[in-house]
């Protein structure tokens, strides 16, 4: 049974009327209701708030990584285990075909139903999950296969066991190794991209987000708890964090937005999967036309670009002052200040000397 959010109640009502009309074989009424539905969808979904987009990213019916893999891949088989500790079910890895292109796909899987959610650890990978992902990525590099990574996690698992097995090292290792991977890579946020758990499979030649996905350094709930100590301020935190796909595109932190159906991937899964497939194949074709050196140079430029800034007062300057030059300027300015202070101290002592002599003569008299 479909799940509807609070702002989707009108859509639910119209869709129920359409089903009722179809059962009565009243095709004319069904067509009129479909037109009404399209208008309502356009009205609601073109004016969504950031908080409503967050709700869509976490929607219970939204397709997960395994749903997309089953829809876009064929002749596939799963890669298990990290060859060190165990097979983490929160990370899934497959080798197979997308269209005529042989590929490796890595995804974060949340799971549906209590049993599967526990098995997948609610989509929060352990360090062995990231090591399994890295093993699959290295396999793709070995056979020169394009790599597709599907991000959908609230974050890396923060449990004691994960920390004991070096969770932070596993994430950092993935960041380093994926940045140096020689095969074409594409990463897509399909739902919720949370913190380092998302970054661990987010370093790629092309980084895209689905229309109603989010990508954040912290969950809005965590942000509200830290800043205001009030879980009710989740919506305020969501607006402040700028975590939607359009916000991140405007900030230059992602490359593209994949236009899933306007009504959302949770209502039209096949169309959403087709959008990911088309984007992946198009971008891989562009990347394969580049030489390895060109691709690596472009990736390096992209990864080092975020965080750069320019001082407004220095916009007209053609040459930028290097860090070493800045240090030398600071050093010389400090030296000049010390010299000035020394000279002023000398002048003061010179003025004080005759005064002291006069006072000594008067004391003698």
Per-residue pLDDT of the chain (365 residues; tens, 9 = 90+): 678 888 888 998 998 899 999 888 888 898 999 999 999 999 999 889 999 999 999 999 999 999 999 999 999 999 999 999 999 999 999 999 999 999 999 999 999 989 999 999 999 999 999 999 999 999 999 999 999 999 999 999 989 999 999 999 999 999 999 999 999 999 999 999 988 889 999 999 999 999 999 999 988 988 899 999 887 899 999 999 999 999 999 988 999 999 999 999 999 999 999 999 999 999 999 999 999 999 999 999 998 888 766 666 655 555 555 555 655 666 676 666 666 666 666 666 665 666 556 566 666 55
Distance CA 23, CA 238 (A): 42
Q: Strand 101-108 relative to strand 91-98: parallel, antiparallel, unpaired?
A: antiparallel
Distance CA 255, CA 157 (A): 27
pTM above the 0.75 mark? yes
58-68 b/e with 16+ CB inside 10 Å = b?
A: bbeebbbbbbb
pLDDT (0 to 100) of residue 81: 93
Instruction: Calculate the CA 120 to chain-centre distance.
Output: 21
pLDDT (0 to 100) of residue 338: 65
pLDDT (0 to 100) of residue 304: 87
pLDDT (0 to 100) of residue 195: 86
What crossing angle do the helices spanning 292-304 and 167-179 adopt, rounded to 10°? 130
Q: Which residue has the tokens 């891989």?
A: 284
pLDDT (0 to 100) of residue 259: 92
pLDDT (0 to 100) of residue 26: 87
Residue ranges per structural domain of the chain: 9-47, 54-304
Distance CA 121, CA 81 (A): 16
The beta-strand segments (E) located in 259-357 are none
Q: Is 278 left (phi over 0), alpha (psi -120 to 50) or beta?
A: alpha
Close Cβ partners of 257 (under 8 Å, ≥ 6 residues apart): 208, 209, 210, 211, 245, 246, 249
For 54-304, which CATH superfamily applies? Answer: 2-enoyl-CoA Hydratase; Chain A, domain 1 (3.90.226.10)
DSSP state of 322: P
| Long-range CB pairs of 242-247, under 8 A, 24+ apart, other chains included | 242/50, 243/50, 243/54, 243/214, 243/215, 243/216, 244/50, 244/53, 244/54, 244/214, 245/189, 245/209, 245/210, 245/211, 245/212, 245/213, 245/214, 245/215, 247/50
| CA-closest candidate to residue 198, choices 106, 118, 103 | 106
The beta-strand segments (E) located in the chain are 74-79, 91-98, 101-108, 147-153, 185-194, 206-210, 214-216, 256-258
| CA-closest candidate to residue 189, choices 179, 202, 176, 177 | 202
Q: Which residues pair with 106 in a beta bridge?
A: 93, 149
Structure tokens at 306: 């975020």
CA-based R_g, the chain, Å: 30
């Amino acid at each position: 049974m479909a799940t509807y959010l609070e702002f989707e109640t009108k859509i639910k009502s119209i869709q129920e009327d359409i089903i009722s009309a179809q059962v009565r074989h009243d095709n004319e009424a069904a067509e009129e209701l479909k037109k009404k539905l399209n208008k309502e969808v356009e009205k609601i979904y073109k004016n969504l708030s950031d908080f409503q987009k967050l709700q869509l990213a976490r929607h219970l019916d939204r397709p997960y990584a395994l749903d997309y893999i089953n829809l876009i891949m064929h002749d596939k088989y799963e890669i298990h285990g990290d060859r060190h500790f165990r097979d983490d079910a929160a990370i899934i890895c497959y080798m197979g075909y997308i269209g005529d292109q042989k590929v490796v796909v890595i995804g974060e899987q949340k799971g549906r139903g209590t049993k599967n959610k526990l098995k997948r650890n609610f989509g929060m990978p352990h360090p062995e999950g990231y090591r399994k992902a890295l093993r699959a990525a290295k396999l793709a590099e070995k056979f020169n296969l394009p790599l597709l990574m599907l991000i959908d996690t609230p974050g890396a698992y923060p449990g004691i066991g994960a920390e004991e097995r070096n969770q932070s090292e596993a994430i950092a290792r993935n960041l380093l190794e994926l940045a140096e991977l020689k095969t074409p890579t594409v990463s897509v946020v399909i739902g919720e991209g949370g913190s380092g758990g998302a970054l661990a499979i987010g370093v790629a030649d092309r980084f895209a987000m689905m229309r109603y996905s989010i990508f954040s350094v912290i969950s809005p709930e965590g942000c509200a708890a830290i800043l205001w100590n009030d879980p009710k301020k989740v919506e305020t935190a969501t607006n402040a964090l700028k975590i939607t796909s359009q916000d991140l595109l405007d900030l230059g932190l992602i490359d593209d937005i994949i236009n899933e159906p306007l009504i959302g991937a949770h209502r039209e899964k096949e169309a959403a999967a087709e959008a990911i497939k088309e984007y992946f194949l198009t971008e891989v074709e562009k990347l394969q036309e580049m030489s390895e050196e060109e691709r690596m140079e472009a990736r390096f430029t992209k990864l080092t670009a975020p965080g750069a800034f320019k001082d407004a007062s220095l916009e007209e300057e053609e040459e930028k002052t290097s860090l070493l030059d800045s240090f030398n300027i600071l050093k010389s300015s400090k030296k000049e200040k010390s010299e000035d202070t020394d000279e002023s101290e000398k002048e003061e002592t010179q003025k004080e000397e005759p005064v002291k002599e006069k006072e000594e003569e008067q004391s003698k008299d």
